[in-house]
Amino acid sequence: MRLRTRLGAGVAGALNGVSRRLGLGRGTVLGGRAGMAIAPGALAELAAGRLVALVSGTNGKTTTTALLAAALEVGGRRVVTNSTGSNMPAGHFAALAQGAGGTPVVLEVDEGYLPGSVETLEPKVVVLLNLSRDQLDRSNEVRMVAGRWRRALAGSRATVVANADDPLVVYGAELAGSLLWVAGGARWRADAAGCPACGGRIEYSVDSWSCRCGFTRPRPEVSAVEEAGTTTAVFADGRRLPVTLAIPGAFNRRNALMAMAAAGALGVPAEVALAAMGRIEGVAGRFSLRRVQGVLTRVLLAKNPAGWEELLDVVAPGTGPVVVAINARIADGRDPSWLWDVPFERLAGRPVVATGERSADVSVRLHYAGVEHQRVGDPAQAVVLAGRLGAAGADGEAVEFIGNYTAFHDLLRVGA
């Protein structure tokens, strides 16, 4: 390894440590940026010869990255990952600077950065979860992202583990030399109504999709079968394995199926991978139960209509109070008009509190959804109020707090 690369990696590690000690956050971006400034081109060198797995998609990448890392940590093997969610090159640099040269690396990758990361890091496996609208003010149109994935993966030697249920993912993946299709589910279809291949209309049936141009759902190697709140992995050869996780939600069990397939491509048996993933109890604060001003609260993150649709499935069986927290800072996307695509109607009849810097937008949306609610600007105070409203029902359920990106992280800080 070049001296400059070693120096860059050392500086990244040192800066991250200082940043942590000063309480400035985990500092992965700061250290990574400094390291890359010292040693441009070092990313490729740090990744060379290592087992690299990349995870991308609009929703679920942080969780799937954690699940895959857990599955690869078999037999006490150390795995390096960007668990703080710093999913662009500076964060990748900071992660790659850790661990000895031979340590496997599992990286979450921002959708827009995936083509560059595939070229630079030469991954063994790439996991593609889904593509939908996110951050309306600054993201490319999703079909354009799928087209860029397609060009990047056509020349890659990676095994691509791709969600056969999402037409945009299939379009992005299908030219890869080594493909493993997984029926990973696609609850949200509104962003894939048009065919990415011809611009025609995709026809959906219960468990498949196709277009008149011949672009159609590939046959999956493994599918998620959901019955009565449980998920079973069903393999093409008929083998069946239960997918049991400590974290909630059918979408997480489908993410686990994708991670299981990726781990399999890297030599970890499905049973071993599933057992390891089942022990994960929370991912970077997501799904965690904690006390916020004394009120038991489950903290959930949803940042776009597709993510909300999935999380509403998780909270829908309950009757307890729900806090909807929305900000519109740069990290959230400045344009909150996507709130009109979220089916908030499903919250009608339960205690709901709107909060966050855009609580007024949430309130108008809830009003038109026919959801009675109260509005409190401060998220912690909103949880306290929701706790009181919930106590009236005397069911003792935790408050469900669902926030978008910065609203979620703000609450983790007060509820630590």
- Which residues here bind Zn ion, judged by CB under 5 A? 195, 197-198, 200, 211, 213, 215
CB distance 143 to 161 below 8 Å: no
Residue 195: CB minimum distance to Zn ion, A: 3
Residue 166: CB minimum distance to Zn ion, A: 15
Q: Which is nearer to Zn ion, 146 or 195 (CB)?
A: 195
Distances (CA, A) of 396 to 42, 234, 312, 350: 53, 37, 20, 14
CB distance 169 to 185 below 8 Å: no
Which residue, chain included where needed, has tokens 């998620």?
224
Tokens of 333: 């996307």
Residue 239: CB minimum distance to Zn ion, A: 33
Q: Which amino acid is at 192?
A: A
In a 10 Å sphere around its CB, with 0-12 CB exposed, 13-18 middle and 19+ buried, how is residue 267 labelled?
A: exposed
Residue 143: CB minimum distance to Zn ion, A: 12
List the helix and strand counts (H, then E) for the chain.
14, 17
Q: Which is nearer to Zn ion, 202 or 382 (CB)?
A: 202
CA 112 to chain centre: 14
Q: Which is nearer to Zn ion, 48 or 198 (CB)?
A: 198
User: CA–CA separation, 166 vs 177, rounded Å?
Assistant: 19
Q: Which is nearer to Zn ion, 145 or 369 (CB)?
A: 145
Q: Which amino acid is at 16?
A: N
Q: Which is nearer to Zn ion, 197 or 234 (CB)?
A: 197
Residue 135: CB minimum distance to Zn ion, A: 27
Q: Which is nearer to Zn ion, 194 or 282 (CB)?
A: 194
Residue 309: CB minimum distance to Zn ion, A: 25
Residue 223: CB minimum distance to Zn ion, A: 23
Looking at 122-205, list the stretches that DSSP marks H as alpha helix, in order from N- to C-terminal side. 142-154, 167-173
Q: Which is nearer to Zn ion, 113 or 204 (CB)?
A: 204
In a 10 Å sphere around its CB, with 0-12 CB exposed, 13-18 middle and 19+ buried, how is residue 26 labelled?
A: middle
